[in-house]
Amino acid sequence: MDILDWDALDLSALLEARELSAVELMRATLERITAVNEDVNAIVSLRDPDRLLDEARAIDQTERRGWLHGMPLAVKDLANVEGLPTSQGSPLHARTIAPQDSVFVERMRRAGALFIGKTNTPEFGLGSHTFNSVHGATRNPYDLTRSAGGSSGGAAAALATRMVPVADGSDMMGSLRNPAAWNNVYGFRPTWGRVPSDPDGDLFLHQLSTNGPMGRSPADIAALLEVMGGWDIRQPHGLLPQMFVDRIRTNVNGLRIGWLADWGGAYPTESGVLDTCEAALDVFEQLGCQVEHIEAPFPAARLWEAWTTLRSWAIAGNLSPLFANRASRAQLKEEALWEIEQGMALSAMAVHRASVARSDWFRKALDLFAEVDVLMLPSAQVWPFPVEQRHPVGIAGQEMDTYHRWMEIVIPVSLIGLPCMSIPAGFGQQGLPMGMQLVGPPRGDLRVLQVAQAWHEATKWPAKHPPRPAQSLRLH
């Protein structure tokens, strides 16, 4: 078994027992990157290999700092790693060097991580397709002609190809979930506030996006979440640290699952998506779970109106200084311009109405979780599409009226900050992966992790169905 195929916690145990050195792991990692990354383009801003090997030698001689001690990691290119560029996929920031680590990155560094570079992301994380004018497009390792998803597409593809053992990502509109689904790995959007963002800009109003962990097993994700998570005193919202790994294994017999499918037909899906997911539900039933089909619990149109209002409002608040400057405005991609213009045109009462709709959906969700333990629905409405395409313009004969309408199935979770794991669900007829959203109640992160781990032990999708060997990952 190739050392890079081991789960991250297993690698950590080998490092702790001195059965594997950080130098050996770093060398294997760099060899894999050399073999794979030219075609997949998941790792960007890769640091000098000799310097990385020197750091690995040094950490082999130091006292163990945490479970990430000696592990080579790459950080999504929306977060800061001291001394590395934070391009955010934008030519405006291509040469911006981070003066310090982001909050969760600093925590990973304290736990012993060795940062080798960044993972690719679309410009400002907008859109679930990882391409930008700075680093180019990230390709799906299961089919190099297809998208790896986004905005954590670089992280997901790097995980799938074993260039990193675990990864961070971020999720506003499915950016941890869609790429995980398309790369046959796990992506966890934690309860909003569990992983702190950087204490910059507005700290009170924009409760939509969150950082979170990705991995090839839920146990690895739980361990990384313990490092990334926990309250930061510089921010007004947040949750205290919580331990997950020691409690992740549990009996799911009798668990009640509410299957939401396509939200009563409101979310069109490509052929095979629902079939693949519903076949996966049979495994839960074999584990003793009770699967109940649930009708659409809330008007999809009202969710969409609230989401697009609050999302554009947040993005405009963040990017409007770039829009105000004529020179920088000319370098913004069309999706960013659209979001800013939408957000700047909003009234305060429009934002209030969107927040009321969000509140109504939160109350309804609480009623649902009184009847079931977890909710489930597909992680994506389409299979990975051609990498040259900006975004899908239609699904099953239904035209998409925005650049992100094809991702609508993720917003019931994002709108109210529920914990959600994208779990691998299987493969379609074209050999492309799909995933399912496993959704927990408010602050029910542990429950989601436990159910996902039971699923993982029953299926082992990432280990059983990795991408083709590195030497065959070639464009012809």
| Active site residue ranges | 76, 151, 175
**For residue 180, which phi and psi values (nearest 5 degrees)?**
-60, -45
Q: Are 424 and 435 in contact (CB under 8 A)?
A: yes
Q: Are 306 and 415 in contact (CB under 8 A)?
A: yes
Report how far residue 249's alpha carbon sits from residue 337's, in angstroms, rounded to the nearest whole number.
46
Strands 114-119, 72-76: pairing is: parallel
Distances (CA, A) of 89 to 17, 46, 181, 387: 39, 15, 22, 16
Look at the block and give the residue holding tokens 């998506």. Answer: 273
Reference 470, options 151, 32, 122; nearest CA is 32
Round the CA-based radius of gyration of the chain to a whole number and report it.
21
Look at the block and give the residue holding tokens 């592990």. Answer: 71
Counting Cα atoms < 13 Å in the Cβ hemisphere of 211 gives: 24
3-state secondary structure of 378: strand
C-alpha 183: how far from chain center: 11
Q: Are 315 and 208 in contact (CB under 8 A)?
A: no
Cα dihedral 329, 335, 339, 345, rounded to 10, equals 70
DSSP output for 158-206: HHHTTS-SEEEEEESSSTTHHHHHHTTSEEEEPPTTSS---S-S-SSS-
Token pair of 247 as six digits: 């409690």
Strands 166-171, 398-399: pairing is: unpaired
3-state secondary structure of 374: strand
Q: Would you give the DSSP letter of residue 294?
A: -
